[in-house]
A and B are shown apart, each in its own frame.
Chain A
Amino acid sequence: MSTLIYTESRLDPARAVYDKVVGAGDGWMHTIKAGQSFRIVDMEGNQAADTLFYDADDFANRYSAQDTIRRQGAIYLTTGTPLYSTGGDVLLNITADTCGRHDTLGGACATESNQVRYALDKRWMHACRDTFMLQLLKWGRDATKADITHNINFFMNVPVTPDGGLSFADGVSAGGRYVEMRAERDVVALISNCPQLNNPCNAYNPTPIRLLIWD
């Protein structure tokens, strides 16, 4: 049996320096300063928040799923997980988690991968990597598609089975659950609040997330 460990935060939303609701299918890109705490709230439950992080001073030094998995020797992200970059730096540490488990294997949906996964005529549907692309191009700094990499899916549950299968299981999240992390250097966060309608990652009903930052 798997064990989920829940850790609450003492931070008070009324004292946050930033508080924003992002609707399903929308993107959000924002700098989080070293020492600030950043919380993502799954407002209605079973919503995937597809997330990338960059070193604010060097976009080539960005969140790396394989480095994060390897250095903790485990697949799932939760309280105590350092989020590592391709350059071997800790970008953020997860400090609280009332969901208990987050995925970093499943990646983000794309118009092209939707064609492969579901049907060739699905290309027109809204997808996370289109949101990432638009946010990056508007951010500037010579960002390109090369900066769209292997992301975190906060609130998503993608178990690996003993025989090496990958399943997309029922969410372990619920309305009001959150994950919180502390930035260990200035980072830029890029989120696509997943619009996927073809699989149960959002319970076929994408819903808003709330983003809070504390100094």
Chain B
Amino acid sequence: MPESPTPLFDEHLPGGGLWSAVIRRHQVLRLTDIEGGANVSLMAWNAAAPLDRLNLPDTLKAQYTARLTRGHVLMGDMGRVLLSITSDTAGWHDPLGGHSDAGEVLQKYGERSYQEARNDWHRNAHDNFLVEMGKHGLGPRDLVANVNFFSRLDADDDGRLSFHSGNSKAGDSVDLRAEMDVLVVLTTCQHPLDPNPAYAPKPVTLTTLSGPPPAADDFCRLFRGENQRAFTLTERYLA
């Protein structure tokens, strides 16, 4: 049996929240959907050189997929692996839908200011991303396409997208193993295509774990030839 990662600490992030951290190489960030129906929008950069950043087109075309689950890796735009999805109980995470901005949140949910509602105010994912990115010296030019963990969109033959309700259940979790030091920025706003007319973003638990390096027969490494080559390029870069 492969060695299991060891939990170091937990953090609770309410719905609508924002968070960032550098996940050290071979550490695991575990996202847990506490109530079911959570959405975690996530972007990532090589912490040492943020021009090397999450690239979803490279990620999706290399793995011939428009959904993400265990075995897939999130690739940067320099041919390297940033994060590997080493465990997943939800089975489908959305790389297509992006995230909402202030205008869309206002249009969909109406206005609720901080003045009026304190920390129950309406937050939007775009501003949350910019705030957390700014803390690490990043700005609007560093924005990339994001993943929406725990959410699923279905596409019909004409490419029309529909939100798949009930994709993630209470207790579902996904493990992201860093393959280099990775800056992760995430926010727990609702999925932009979630048809629920109420502003009701869900909380998650964020667990940081220490873990072993990926073995020679690691599931994500061997998932496809493309993944093996991306691991080789990552290991050469860090050699």
Contact = CB atoms under 8 A, between A and B. Distances in A.
Contacts of A73: 160-161, 193
A105 B160 CA distance: 14
A64 B98 contact: yes
B157 A74 contact: no
A144 interface: yes
A1 B145 contact: no
B158 A2 contact: yes
27 contacts: A2-B157, A2-B158, A59-B141, A66-B96, A66-B97, A66-B98, A66-B99, A67-B98, A69-B161, A70-B192, A74-B158, A88-B103, A105-B57, A110-B77, A113-B77, A116-B58, A116-B226, A129-B77, A146-B141, A150-B57, A150-B145, A151-B57, A158-B61, A162-B155, A164-B66, A166-B65, A167-B64
Contacts of B213: none
B169 interface: no
Interface string B209-229: 000000000000000001001
Contact of B66 (A70, A116, A117, A160): A160
A120 B78 CA distance: 13
Contact of B159 (A75, A106, A108, A145): A75
B65 A164 contact: yes
Given A150-B56, A165-B65, A69 B97 contact: yes
Given A74-B158, A110-B77, A150-B57, A115 B233 contact: yes
Interface string A94-108: 000000010001111
A183 B67 CA distance: 33
Interface residues of A, number: 51
B161 A113 contact: no
A186 interface: no
Contact of B141 (A60, A64, A112, A166): A60
Contacts of B86: none
B144 interface: yes
B155 A160 contact: yes
A117 B226 CA distance: 5
B145 A166 contact: no
Contacts of B97: 66, 69-70
Interface residues of B, number: 48
Contacts of A106: 57, 60-61
B173 interface: no
Top 9 A-B pairs, shortest CB-CB distance: A107-B57, A66-B98, A112-B79, A164-B67, A75-B159, A60-B140, A2-B157, A76-B159, A160-B155
B101 interface: yes
Contacts of B60: 105-106, 166
B103 A74 contact: no
Interface string A151-172: 1000000111110111110000
A179 B178 CA distance: 41
A115 B66 contact: no
Contacts of A165: 64-66
Interface of B: 51, 55-58, 60-62, 64-67, 75, 77-80, 92, 96-99, 101, 103-104, 139-146, 154-161, 192-193, 226, 229-230, 232-233
Interface in A39-91: 59-61, 64-67, 69-70, 73-76, 86-88
A63 B51 CA distance: 18
Given A110-B77, A112-B79, 9 more contacts: A66-B146, A73-B160, A74-B158, A105-B57, A112-B233, A116-B79, A117-B62, A146-B51, A166-B66
A167 B60 CA distance: 10
Contacts of A60: 139-141
Contacts of B159: 2, 74-76, 101, 159-160
Contact of A1 (B78, B103, B157): B157
Given A116-B58, A116-B230, A145-B51, A69 B98 contact: yes
Contacts of A70: 97-98, 192-193
A59 B55 CA distance: 19
Nearest to A5: B158
Contact of B58 (A113, A159, A167, A168): A113
A149 interface: yes
